[in-house]
Structure 1
């Protein structure tokens, strides 16, 4: 285990370093924030002063060197627009994005696994065809279109749920969350469902294929021969085996939920990191964009590490850090 942790940490640091080079070069080599931040009637002297204040008068290599040195001390730059540390801005929006992603992940598992089980246990039936058709639609329809249709149906036509904002936020263990107030929950339902639709379809198909592959195996036949009930066979023997690929895929997809919540947060005006990123790109707020991408990459690394640990716990035959 210790060898695995050391190896993964070294790989993670290398990934972060390479990512910082690519992101920094890509973001800082495009556009000029001064054109947006400074008024059009500013004098050349005022413009030059702003360029020096933002550090844009130095070469790209000098700017990157300063960024790396500050990053090693926990400083990922200061926002051009808000004049605040970029990491503080991102961390202030992170609870909203994580809340949205966790709820979307929970919906994916709560809806996807039972539907996949029902479809896998009844292949060729109307239920199976209906569930699989719905999963194809979840894969095929664009995320932004799904979001607009959810707003059209549940907000405009039926008037059941609000379409934008986060609603009233309460606190649980000192963490701001929408889950402790009805206003917050009602604002959360549509964006969480929109973000979860693709993953619900993915979990359905993974579960169904896992059930179809596992049911004919010898250990299932042996359990039936011993008189084990069908419910116990499915809930204990079959489900335990199909959870391994589901945990692996869903763990990676959780990182995707965080990274690609941008579209959902924009459509539903959800005040998370994704909306902050879009606003920063529109304003060429380079430090915030770079800090956001590095934070997301770090989240991906941590999530993959946790998935590896869970994988070994679900299947004891897998040993992290083994010689093989």
Structure 2
């Protein structure tokens, strides 16, 4: 297991190096930050002088080498817009996005697991048919349309929930959280449901199909023959083996959900990393863009590395020693 873990860590570092190279390459192709900083009244000579001071005229490899050296010390550059370290800007926005993804993931788990198990055990039940039909509709509707429909129905028509913003937050050891206030929770409900609509249909169908496949295996039939209770067979023996592919897919989908927060945060004006990313795109803050890509990429790599390690622990049949 140790060799398996070390191998995954080295693979994660290599992937991060590729992500940093691709992200930094955008800096030379995406807009002119000097123009957006100084406007049109500044002369060309002054702009070039400013570009020299910021190191934007240096060769690509020189800039990339300087970036890697600074990144090793936790410095991903200075945001042209905020005049702060890009990493500090991202970390200030991260709590909003992490709480949104956490709430959406919680909704996905609490609904997809019982719904998928029930649909697998009772495939001909009316609720199972309704669930499967609803999951097809859910996969077909884009997240921004779901968000707009929810705003129109629950915020404009029924006036149950606020339509934008993060609401009241409190400082918890430097973490600005809205999970501890009623207003913050009311603002969180609709964005979390809208974001969860991306993954919820997929996980319901995945759990159902995997569970149905496991229920047809020989050891489940043997468990029935031994006279074990159905609940024990379903929730202990069958569901445990159903979790293996779900864990693998879940790690990948969690990273995708982080990316989809851009649409959700835009519609609900949720002041997280996705909203910050669009602002950086509009104002050509290439330093903040590169920092965001690397930060999200690092989260994606860390989550998937942890999923690989957990999968190796859960499934003892995997050869984790690295030998053929």
Q: What TM-score range do you get, normalising by the shorter chain?
A: over 0.9
Check the 8 A contact 1:171/1:180 in 2, yes or no: no
- Is 1:168 matched up with 2:172? no
- 1:93-141 CA-partner distances (Å, limit 9, x unpaired): 1111111111111111111111111111111332122101111111111
Q: 1:166 to 1:321 in 2, by over 3 A?
A: farther
2: CA distance, partners of 1:223 / 1:173: 50
SS at match of 1:42: coil
2: CA distance, partners of 1:58 / 1:210: 54
Point out the more displaced range, 229-238 or 278-287: 229-238
1:235 CA drift (Å): 1.4
Check the 8 A contact 2:12/2:305 in 1, yes or no: no
Give ranges in structure 1 of 5+ residues lacking alignment. none
Check the 8 A contact 2:16/2:301 in 1, yes or no: no
Equivalent residue runs for 1:153-232 within 5 Å: 153-172=153-172, 175-232=175-232
SS at match of 1:260: helix
Point out the more displaced range, 214-223 or 202-211: 214-223
Point out the more displaced range, 95-104 or 311-320: 311-320
1:257 equivalent in structure 2? 257
- 1:144-177 CA-partner distances (Å, limit 9, x unpaired): 1111111111111111111111111124465332
1: CA distance, partners of 2:178 / 2:121: 37
2: CA distance, partners of 1:283 / 1:13: 31
Q: TM-score, normalising length from structure 2?
A: 0.94
- Is 1:241 matched up with 2:241? yes
1:61 equivalent in structure 2? 61
1:228 CA drift (Å): 2.2
1:72 equivalent in structure 2? 72
1: CA distance, partners of 2:123 / 2:38: 64
1:320 equivalent in structure 2? 320
Q: TM-score, normalising length from structure 1?
A: 0.94
Q: 1:36 to 1:174 in 2, by over 3 A?
A: closer
Aligned residue pairs total 324
| RMSD of Structure 2 on Structure 1 (CA) | 1.7
Give ranges in structure 2 of 5+ residues lacking alignment. none
Check the 8 A contact 1:107/1:193 in 2, yes or no: yes
1:109 equivalent in structure 2? 109
Check the 8 A contact 1:54/1:80 in 2, yes or no: no
Equivalent residue runs for 1:16-27 within 5 Å: 16-27=16-27
